[in-house]
Structure 1
Amino acid sequence: MAPMSTSSLDPAIAARLKRSADGLVPAIAQQYDTGEVLMLGWMDDEALHRTLTTGRCTYWSRSRQEYWVKGDTSGHFQHVKSVALDCDADTLLVKVDQVGAACHTGARTCFDADVLPLAE
């Protein structure tokens, strides 16, 4: 569960967010110039505030129960180009300039290694 700390997120933005029961919003990272879908992370209000104000993606780690900035340990930074809410205000689309791999496995994207077969 995300921390219940006070966030500096603009109250007008915070009021619009529809969060999961654990206070999080899924954030899809997409390469800004190619449209390539890179990864899915989770943000609470503070992670979103940090992302909007620092220009680098900050996520909430559900497994480690802490904030993490993409690239701080791997060097594979996500430089934020834009952030948008979907029509239901329950998902974020973060367009980034990805440096290196987006996936923790070292792959460029989290979505190219396990493509499921479609019925013919």
Structure 2
Amino acid sequence: MIEVTLPWPPTALNPNTARRLHWSKRAKAARHYKADCAWYCRAAKLRPVAFTEAAVAITFHPPNAQRRDLDNMLAAIKAGLDAISIAIGVDDSLFALSICRGSPIAGGAVVVRISDAGAGVEERVA
């Protein structure tokens, strides 16, 4: 199993906020977030993997106790998932996603665990 911790996505990438922004500001925020996440992937030494389908478990640790929708949090990290996809060499359309909410931590974080989607359930859960 591979694990990488990504930074909390900027507010501009939240779908509820993004609809009020000009598209170019959202695109700039997505580009910067993807670049930041690519750096975190390099720091975590993510390399291309041998499998073609990936089971991706995402745990969101928000920066505070404010209520957030899981689907909005998932949409906000799309650029981060793109960076992971490039780092491991698996098309993100072949990701089997599972998402959950973790406890709040200062600054927020997104913990992403990646394993072979074809592997046994015991390996993915571990």
TM over 0.5: no
Taking structure 2 as the reference length, what is the TM-score of the superposition?
0.27
- Higher RCO (C-alpha 8 Å, min separation 6): 2
Taking structure 1 as the reference length, what is the TM-score of the superposition?
0.28
More helix per residue: 2
